[in-house]
Structure 1
Amino acid sequence: MKTDPMIVALVPMRHHSVRVPGKNYRPLAGKPLFHHILSALLQTPEIGRVVVDTDSPVLMEGISRDFPQVTLLERPAHLTADTVPMNEILMYDTEQVAADFYLQTHSTNPLLRPQTISKAIQTFLSHYPAYDSLFSVTRLQTRLWDGLARPINHNPAILLRTQDLPPVYEENSCMYIFTRQTLAQRRNRIGERPYLFEMDPLEARDIDEEFDFLLADLLMRQRLQAESGRED
């Protein structure tokens, strides 16, 4: 009898943030930022366990209180510096928690919906092992240039409409699905044969700067208002 694979969601969260101070626990649309992604992951039926890796006493206290079903991993001191690559943190996490597959995301993706997470997992499982990993992307159809004013994805002598340009894809950092084997062999979440999972640009908004936080707050409030209106 075939059993469903064990999928663990990994959510690394630092206490310290340079560009947006305290962003992981700062209120967004009436709740601490980390609430949004944890709620989405816990509503995703394919995910068997949600794990947060953090060095933050504030996050540990808040998650223990509000999300007791989430597993907490205290990040070791040698992995807490801003210069430590994410892949090294994930190597530590996957050593602590066994799974068939890991899905990694961030608290800075608060607009990510459970339905989209489910679709990404189902897409990956239906294509595995032909594709050994998955990462989410945002489609770009605009005229791109490099720093030396050389066209990247278009011929300036042929002025195509932007919607007719061949698309390029931005890695949006919303989701990565991988095995520990891929991570250990390549020291990378992205394998040799990754599947590019395209997402809606608004849902893929990531919080890097203060402006991103304000925009995500506005978009989440609009979403909640629309959902409340449908329920009335």
Structure 2
Amino acid sequence: MKTIAIMPIKLSNERLPGKNTMLLGDKPLLQHELVTLRKTGLADEIYVYCSDEAVCPYLPEGVKFLKRPAELDLPTSNFTQIFAAFSSAVEADIYVYVHATAPFITGETMAECIRAVQGGAYDSAFCAVKIQDFLWKDGEPLNFDAANVPRSQDLEPIYRETSGVYVFTKEVFARYRRRIGKKPFVKEVSFKEAVDINNPEDFRLAEAMVGLDL
């Protein structure tokens, strides 16, 4: 089954301008996940999908550039619009959708997600953080009885989706217009792997975590 990876990139970001090419540790932010993905050897091709050729000098060896329409850089653009345009240009059986903003996703996590879909047991895979906390909504307990408070470890876990890596078949997008199907593999990740860089505070946190074994 042909497996194609895409990393959508904007060079102009609203909350942290230029973040994708900012130096994190010893390399630009966007290179972290691309290098890790390439080392898995599980993607037949890896593309950076960007409207500006100025990104090309930042691409690691073996990563291809595909120019996207400039209108996909608008703040209103979403996954569905970006992926619909990409998949119309690059055909595959399985797609791996990665974000530059998740630099600490490990090769082991990526490989587990990709193999879960390639093996046919799941139609998609994504990363998540397990939450076992006392949650409230609209002034009421969401996941526990306030009159009979359980131990936190006995709460039913809730999983928060992270942006690290998504894997899905072409049928999932064709049928549901989304990146998670009806039979997903959920990969629980660590606090470090779940880091998602969107603003200056996130970037400072990532800088402090580079090289730390968490």
Instruction: Normalising by structure 1, report the TM-score.
Output: 0.86
Structure 1 stretches of 4+ with a deviation exceeding 3 A read none
Report the counterpart of residue 214 of structure 1 in structure 2: 204
Look up the SS of the partner of 2:46 in the other structure. Answer: strand
| RMSD (Å) for aligned C-alpha atoms | 1.7
2: CA distance, partners of 1:56 / 1:26: 16
Report the counterpart of residue 41 of structure 2 in structure 1: 45
Report the counterpart of residue 17 of structure 2 in structure 1: 21
Report the counterpart of residue 184 of structure 1 in structure 2: 174
1:139 correspondence with 2:135: no
1:32 correspondence with 2:28: yes
Report the counterpart of residue 90 of structure 2 in structure 1: 97
Aligned ranges 1:42-81 → 2 under 5 Å = 42-63=38-59, 67-81=60-74
Deviation at 1:49, TM superposition (A): 1.2
1: CA distance, partners of 2:28 / 2:54: 11
8 Å CA contact retained: 1:7, 1:102: yes
Which amino acid is the alignment partner of residue 136 of structure 1? C
2: CA distance, partners of 1:221 / 1:177: 27
Report the counterpart of residue 104 of structure 2 in structure 1: 111
* Residue segments in structure 2 that go unaligned for 5+ positions in a row: none
1: CA distance, partners of 2:13 / 2:208: 21
The number of aligned residues is 214
Which amino acid is the alignment partner of residue 56 of structure 1? D
2: CA distance, partners of 1:23 / 1:78: 20
Deviation at 1:213, TM superposition (A): 0.9
2: CA distance, partners of 1:38 / 1:206: 15
* Residue segments in structure 1 that go unaligned for 5+ positions in a row: 227-232
2: CA distance, partners of 1:88 / 1:181: 17
Deviation at 1:209, TM superposition (A): 2.1
Taking structure 1 as reference, are residues 61 and 45 closer, same or farther at Cα in structure 2, changes over 3 Å only?
closer
Deviation at 1:59, TM superposition (A): 1.5
Report which of the two has the higher share of helix. 1
Per-residue Cα deviation, 1:63-121 (whole angstroms, up to 9, x for no partner) = 2xxx2421111111232211011121011111211221001110001001112111112
Taking structure 1 as reference, are residues 199 and 222 closer, same or farther at Cα in structure 2, changes over 3 Å only?
closer
2: CA distance, partners of 1:167 / 1:132: 23
Report the counterpart of residue 77 of structure 2 in structure 1: 84
Deviation at 1:185, TM superposition (A): 2.2
Report which of the two has the higher share of strand. 2
Deviation at 1:158, TM superposition (A): 1.8
Look up the SS of the partner of 1:43 in the other structure. Answer: helix
Look up the SS of the partner of 2:12 in the other structure. Answer: coil
Per-residue Cα deviation, 1:123-179 (whole angstroms, up to 9, x for no partner) = 2334x25x3222211101111112x11222111112222122110000111111112
